[in-house]
Amino acid sequence: MIRSVKYLKRFDIVATDGSVGSIDDFLFDDQRWAIRYVVVDTGKWLPGRRVLITPIAITSTEWGEQRVQLSLTRDDVASSPDVDTHQPISRQYEIDYFNHYGYPYYWSAGALWGATAHPMLPTPEQLAAQRAATRQAQRRAAAQGDAHLRSATEVTGYSIRATDGELGHVDDLLFDDLSWAVRYLVVDTSNWWFGKHVLVAPSWVDSFEWADRSVSVDLTRQSLKEAPAYDRAEHVDRQWEAAYYGHLQEPGYWIDEDEARAIKEAQSYLREEPAVPDPLERRSRPR
């Protein structure tokens, strides 16, 4: 199901033996567009410290009780590698973090979470292969530096620029609660189109300009204004998404790459193909 990051903030985080704090932020990968970590404010339990929790460690989310259950103990959480969430997260830190818990690297293969499309605990075979490749991964990490993780809180408020002008600003992120993939940026258009919100999919984002806090998208303002209305009080289901993508003439993210490419090529051909002249109109013209 599609869920709101803003709604999930302040949910309690509960280990197998008690509470560890509440959700304060999310770190998402701006290349693969997935939420990689929940940032937890540990409150009075570990004063002044915030810790990262990967979705791999989440066993369930109790939406009615506003509670997230972990497979970890409080001691597991307390012993996690220290991190300054106000600084860029390096790949080397992530290697240390995933090795500490014995989790598979999400960047190690082609799927969203490494070998799988969803955050999952590794098989013994996967873990053995990962340990064998750790030294090579660490050498690559030293060259990579920043792991391209961005704060959801930081991105909120960024201005959105359509191809024909300012669209609004980022108000929220929507994600798939099974894969933790970011599906949409929620855009508040109140500066242009009072009281309305529209959705922008990651595949429509041309670029992030971190210095001037802006996002450029490959859509027009008018096309989004004429799209099906997004109501924050309603769930976004596949029927709604299909209508939304269909209006914008974009292939849905649930379609495989080959099919999506074929759809885009067909749409491009139809836009570029010249109109066939009417033979009756030619005959009626004066000589």
Sequence letter at residue 226:
E
Identify the residue with better confidence: 273 or 94. 94
- Segment 26-62, tens digit of pLDDT: 999 998 999 999 999 999 899 989 999 999 999 999 9
CATH number at residue 181: 3.90.50.10
Residue 13 and residue 120 in one domain: yes
The answer to whether position 279 is within a domain reads: no
The residue among 58, 95, 56, 51 whose CA lies nearest residue 75 is: 51
269: left (phi over 0), alpha (psi -120 to 50) or beta: alpha
Segment 161-168 mean pLDDT? 92
- Segment 204-260, tens digit of pLDDT: 999 888 889 999 999 999 999 888 889 888 889 999 999 999 999 999 999 876 555
Host H or E run for residue 20: strand 18-29
CATH number at residue 121: 2.30.30.240
The answer to whether position 264 is within a domain reads: no
The answer to whether position 265 is within a domain reads: no
Name residues whose C-beta falls within 8 Å of residue 69's C-beta, 6 or more positions apart in sequence. 14, 58, 59, 60, 61, 62
Q: Which of 120, 135, 150 is the last residue of a domain?
A: 150
Check if the beta carbon of residue 2 is closer than 8 Å to that of residue 183.
Answer: yes
- Segment 106-146, tens digit of pLDDT: 987 789 998 899 999 878 777 777 666 666 665 665 555 56
Q: Output the pLDDT for position 280.
A: 45
Host H or E run for residue 35: strand 34-41
Burial annotation 15-35 (CB, 10 A radius, 16+ → b, else e): beeeebbbbbbbbbbbebbbb
* Tally of CB atoms within 10 A around 90: 17
Residue 117 and residue 160 in one domain: no
Kindly indicate the confidence band of residue 147, based on its pLDDT and cuts at 50, 70 and 90. Answer: low
Q: Which of 122, 150, 178 is the last residue of a domain?
A: 150
Residue 231 and residue 217 in one domain: yes
Q: For the chain, how many structural domains are there in total?
A: 2
Compute the mean pLDDT over every residue in the chain, rounded to the nearest whole number: 85
